Amino acid sequence: MYISKIYIRDFRNISQLEYFPDKGLNILIGTNAQGKTNFLEAIYLVTNRTSFRSVQDRHLVKFNEEGFQIQIDYNLDDKNNSLKIEYLIGKRKKITLNNKRILPDQDRLKATLFTPDDLYLLKGPPVRRRSFLDSLLIQISNDYKRNLDDYEQLLSRRNNLLKADSLDMAMLEALDHIFAATAAHIIMARLNILRHLEKYAVNSYQTIGGDDTLRLKYAVSFPLPAGKISYETVKEELLLNTISLRSRECRMKNTLVGPHRDDINFYINEKNAKIFASQGQQRNIVIALKLAELETIHRTTGVYPLFLLDEVLAELDSQKRDLIIGVLQESSFQTFLTSVEISLFRDINGKIIRLDNGKLIL
């Protein structure tokens, strides 16, 4: 998939902007606060229908204006489409695909985003890593979304039972079977996707200059036997663990095992990257993971997402920067990358644009 035209009006600090992107690499240059992240945010908003910065829609409207409009013309499966999002303060967003009104969750386009905040994928709490896997799985499987919704409901019912003044043991035991059955679906899907992600991430990590070996491991919150793991094994082991933890869970009034307690561990040369990796190594791991996400989506859906990269090259040495730029130039997907430094991009196979106070300078 690629965007052939972008039109933005009264969005953040952008009054009016029209851009015909390159099918491959697009580089947005500008000093601080000129609108580079805003530009990426506009693309993300039209593809995902929400911003990646947690703000209300009205904050996205240019100061002193009444609403914004973003339109992209894009090519998907050799068909040209036009997607428009219009917003007026106080009203709901209006989304149209080829001039026909659609709902916010219809016809979403896939975009993989890197922001400096994503470094917390590695350094932050486990919930970040679980959400990363969940949002990837939701993009490629409808079953996963259903199982996850069911699991969240079951978990909250289970926790409510544990929190009640008098414990309904029969109810808890009955719930545990369906709880373990649903949990096992989630764990199996995550184990499976992580195997794919690891394969592509290890590859990408080396391509972008990682000399060390990267390894990813899905850390289940209860012990599983070594060797090949089946759905049945996960379900039974989880159930056994829940039973053996019964009195502790009753004391703590909380569900102590299950996919909501799982994590992903990253290892560099078999050492935990969260503790031992350098800044540059951490950044490279996250970039490799994003490239792996892109490849996983492509292999499972047949479509490459857009790749939106905000300040991805900061902190990296010049050799690593060049290697990443090389990968992006040669790729089959479309990239929008922001940077404050134009000197990094000489003889680029792609387009370079400059943003100055929300205005585009070609």
Ligand X SMILES: Nc1ncnc2c1ncn2[C@@H]1O[C@H](COP(=O)(O)OP(=O)(O)OP(=O)(O)O)[C@@H](O)[C@H]1O
Closest contact distance (angstroms) between CB of 37 and Mg ion is: 3
Binder of ligand X out of 24, 35, 259, 305 (CB under 6 A): 35
Closest contact distance (angstroms) between CB of 76 and Mg ion is: 28
Q: Is 115 in the site for ligand X (CB under 6 A)?
A: no
Beta-carbon contacts of 234 under 8 Å, excluding residues fewer than 6 positions away, are 183, 184, 187, 188, 220, 224
Compute the distance between CA of residue 194 and CA of residue 263 in angstroms, rounded to an integer.
11
Compute the distance between CA of residue 75 and CA of residue 79 in angstroms, rounded to an integer.
5
Compute the distance between CA of residue 255 and CA of residue 186 in angstroms, rounded to an integer.
16
- Partner that binds at residue 62, options Mg ion, ligand X, none, CB closer than 5 to 8 Å by kind: ligand X
Q: How far is CA 104 from the centre of its chain?
A: 18
Span interacting with Mg ion, options 37-45, 56-64, 247-255, 282-290, rule CB under 5 A = 37-45
Binder of ligand X out of 36, 49, 110, 129 (CB under 6 A): 36
Closest contact distance (angstroms) between CB of 74 and ligand X is: 22
Beta-carbon contacts of 223 under 8 Å, excluding residues fewer than 6 positions away, are 237, 241
Q: Is 185 in the site for ligand X (CB under 6 A)?
A: no
The alpha-helical segments, DSSP class H, found in 211-357 are 231-244, 246-252, 273-276, 279-301, 318-330
Q: Is 38 in the site for Mg ion (CB under 5 A)?
A: no
Q: Is 9 in the site for ligand X (CB under 6 A)?
A: no
Q: What sign results for the dihedral spanned by CA atoms 237, 242, 248, 249?
A: positive
Subset of residues 284 to 343 that bind ligand X, contact rule: CB under 6 A: 340
Rg (CA), the chain: 23
C-alpha closest to that of 13 among 57, 61, 67: 61
Binder of ligand X out of 3, 8, 17, 30 (CB under 6 A): 30
Q: Is 159 in the site for ligand X (CB under 6 A)?
A: no
The string of DSSP letters for 179-247 reads HHHHHHHHHHHHHHHHHHHHHHHHHHHHHTT--SPEEEEEE-SS---SS---HHHHHHHHHHHHHHTHH
- Partner that binds at residue 142, options ligand X, Mg ion, none, CB closer than 5 to 8 Å by kind: none
Q: Residue 52 or 87: which CB sits closer to Mg ion?
A: 52
- Partner that binds at residue 30, options ligand X, Mg ion, none, CB closer than 5 to 8 Å by kind: ligand X
Subset of residues 59 to 98 that bind ligand X, contact rule: CB under 6 A: 59, 61-63
Closest contact distance (angstroms) between CB of 249 and ligand X is: 45
Closest contact distance (angstroms) between CB of 351 and ligand X is: 17
Q: Is 346 in the site for ligand X (CB under 6 A)?
A: no
Subset of residues 60 to 79 that bind Mg ion, contact rule: CB under 5 A: none
Q: Is 115 in the site for Mg ion (CB under 5 A)?
A: no
- Partner that binds at residue 340, options Mg ion, ligand X, none, CB closer than 5 to 8 Å by kind: ligand X
Compute the distance between CA of residue 152 and CA of residue 280 in angstroms, rounded to an integer.
36
Strands 263-268 and 271-272: antiparallel
Binder of ligand X out of 3, 27, 37, 267 (CB under 6 A): 37
Span interacting with Mg ion, options 28-36, 76-84, 93-101, 215-223, rule CB under 5 A = 28-36
- Break the chain down into helix, strand, coil percent, rounded to 5: 45, 25, 30
| Contacts to Mg ion by CB under 5 A | 36-37
